Amino acid sequence: MKLLVRHQTIYRYEAAAGRVAMRLKLMPVDTPSQKVLDWQVSVNGEPLTGFRPNSYGEMEAIWVRHDRTDNAVIVAEGLVETQESHGVLGWLGCPVNPRYFLRDTRLTQASPEIRAMALALPDEDGPLARLHALSTAVSDAVAYRAGVTSADTTAAEAFALGAGVCQDHAQVFIAGARAMGIPARYVSGYLLADEGDVLHETHGWAEALVPELGWVGFDPSNRVCVTERYLRLACGLDADEAAPIRGSVTVAGDIWIDADVRIAQAEDGVEERQLQRQQQQGAQTTTQG
Residue 274 pLDDT > 80: no
Q: What pLDDT, on a 0 to 100 scale, did the predictor assign at position 287?
A: 41
139 and 183 housed in the same domain: yes
C-alpha span between 228 and 81 (Å, rounded): 9
Are residues 62 and 136 both part of a single domain? no
Q: Is residue 93 part of a domain?
A: yes
Based on the fold, state whether residues 73 and 92 are members of the same structural domain.
no
Q: Residue 187 and residue 193: Cα distance in Å, rounded?
A: 17
Average pLDDT over residues 228-240: 97
Last residue of a domain, one of 234, 252, 267: 234
Confidence category of residue 59, pLDDT binned at 50, 70, 90: very high
265 within a domain of the structure (yes/no): yes
Is 139 domain-assigned? yes
In a shared domain, residues 217 and 197:
yes
Phi, psi of 283 (to 5 degrees): -65, -40
Which residue range forms the structural domain that includes residue 123? 86-234
CA atoms within 13 A on the CB side of 145: 12
Say if residue 177 is in the same domain as residue 117.
Answer: yes
Task: Tell how far CA 177 is from the center of its chain.
Answer: 18
Looking at the structure, tell me whether residues 157 and 215 fall in a common domain.
yes
pTM of the model: 0.90
CATH code of the domain covering residue 34: 2.60.40.2250
Neighbours of 37 (CB within 10 A): 16
Domain membership of residue 206 (yes or no) is yes
Domains: count for the chain: 2
Which of 213, 234, 255 is the last residue in one of the domains? 234
| pLDDT > 90? residue 41 | yes
CATH value at residue 174: 3.10.620.30
One domain, residues 100 and 183: yes
Statement to judge: residues 123 and 33 lie in one domain? no
Classify residue 289: in a domain, yes or no.
no
Is the model's pLDDT at 237 over the cut of 90? yes
Task: Answer whether residue 140 is part of any domain.
Answer: yes
Residues 17, 112: one domain?
no
Among 73, 75, 61, 64, CA closest to 13? 73
Residues 75 and 96 in one domain: no
SS3 of residue 208 by DSSP: strand
pLDDT digits (tens, 9 = 90+) for 105-147: 999 999 999 999 999 999 889 999 999 999 999 999 999 999 9
Distances (CA, A) of 232 to 28, 149, 174, 204: 6, 24, 17, 9
Is 53 inside any structural domain? yes
CA distances from 252 to 13, 18, 248, 255 (A): 6, 7, 10, 7
Q: Do 93 and 185 reside in the same domain of the chain?
A: yes
Judge if 213 and 140 occupy the same domain: yes
CB of 154 within 8 A of CB of 168? no
